[in-house]
Amino acid sequence: MFISFEGGEGCGKSTHARMLKEYLESSGKEVVLTREPGGTQFGSTIRKMLLDNDLSIEMTTEMFLFCADRVEHVEKVIRPALSEGKIVISDRYIDSTIAYQLGGRALPEDLVRYLNWISSKGLVPDLTFLLDIPVEEGLKRTAERGKTNRFENEILAFHERVREKYLEIAGNNRQRIKVIDTFKGIEETQKEIRGHLPAGRQV
Ligand SMILES: Nc1ncnc2c1ncn2[C@@H]1O[C@H](COP(=O)(O)OP(=O)(O)OP(=O)(O)O)[C@@H](O)[C@H]1O
Ligand SMILES: [Mg+2]
């Protein structure tokens, strides 16, 4: 089973991905927790470039870098783990590309969708949690963590476009994508997430 966590800055992806991993492991499952960008050794070099505030990167270059990261990630981490029967949880995946490069950056739709398809080789998660929170609240949470990255420093309108695109994708993929409101307590949010696991995965 392949699960992804999606959502804007500071919505709680990393927190809930980690909590879900612990929960599934406590019920005896083997879980691989990974992330984009940076799920491989090569990818972590790409991640540093992508998040670096001091680098100026063309939007198309940025798109290629995310896709290069994904090729490595799918081939070296996700597919091998799935073929060993493990549950894979990825902190961001293909929906981030649509939300950020198509929604946020407004790159040409055919280019974004084509590269997304090529880089993932058509591997779509079985289940995706879209963690949703008002933009200002998410950014407040990231600001509280200290130094902000290249994306967190984008203008509000960018983050609003990302959020809007995420909600649009969710509306078009209701079976796969569960929208979770995270403007509430962590435990309550996690409980809601677990409620969406297919029967048999819950304790
Ligand atoms: N309901 C909630 N769910 C998740 N996190 C919450 C919630 N309420 C408050 N928080 C706090 O918000 C922060 C979320 O940070 P986290 O790193 O999980 O977000 P993220 O989506 O991974 O961010 P980024 O996009 O920067 O990677 C944490 O400090 C967490 O304690
Ligand atoms: Mg995170």
* Structure confidence by residue, pLDDT tens digits, 130-177: 999 999 999 999 999 888 899 998 999 999 999 999 999 999 999 999
Query: In this structure, is residue 203 part of a structural domain?
Result: no
Range of the domain at 36: 2-194
Mean pLDDT for 48-67 is 96
Atom of ligand 1 nearest to the CA of 8: 25
65 within some domain: yes
φ/ψ (deg, to 5) at 173: -135, 55
* Ligand 1 nearest-atom number relative to CA 11: 21
Instruction: Give the residue whose CA is nearest to atom 4 of ligand 1.
Output: 12
pTM over 0.85, yes/no: yes
pLDDT for position 200: 59
> What is the pLDDT averaged over residues 171-195?
98
* Average pLDDT of the chain, as a whole number: 96
Cα of 138 vs centre of ligand 1, distance in Å, is 8
pLDDT tens by residue, 69-119: 999 999 999 999 999 999 999 999 999 999 999 999 999 999 999 999 999
Helix (H) or strand (E) holding 131: strand 127-132
Confidence at 203, pLDDT banded by 50, 70, 90: very low
Residue 63: CATH number of its domain: 3.40.50.300
User: Which pLDDT belongs to residue 199?
Assistant: 80
Ligand nearest to the CA of 182: 1
Starting from the CA of residue 13, give the closest ligand: 1
Q: Whose CA is nearest to atom 14 of ligand 1?
A: 12
Number of the ligand closest to the Cα of 193: 1
Asked if the model's pLDDT at residue 185 lies above 70, the reply is yes
Residue 202 within any structural domain of the chain: no
> Ligand 2 centre and the CA of 8: distance in Å?
9
* In-domain check, residue 25: yes
pLDDT in tens, 3-34: 999 999 999 999 999 999 999 999 999 999 99
Domain tally for the chain?
1
pLDDT of the residue at 201: 52
Cα(131) to centroid(ligand 1), Å: 10
- CA-nearest residue, atom 1 of ligand 1: 186
Q: How wide is the angle at C-alpha 149 spanned by C-alphas 117 and 32, nearest 5°?
A: 50
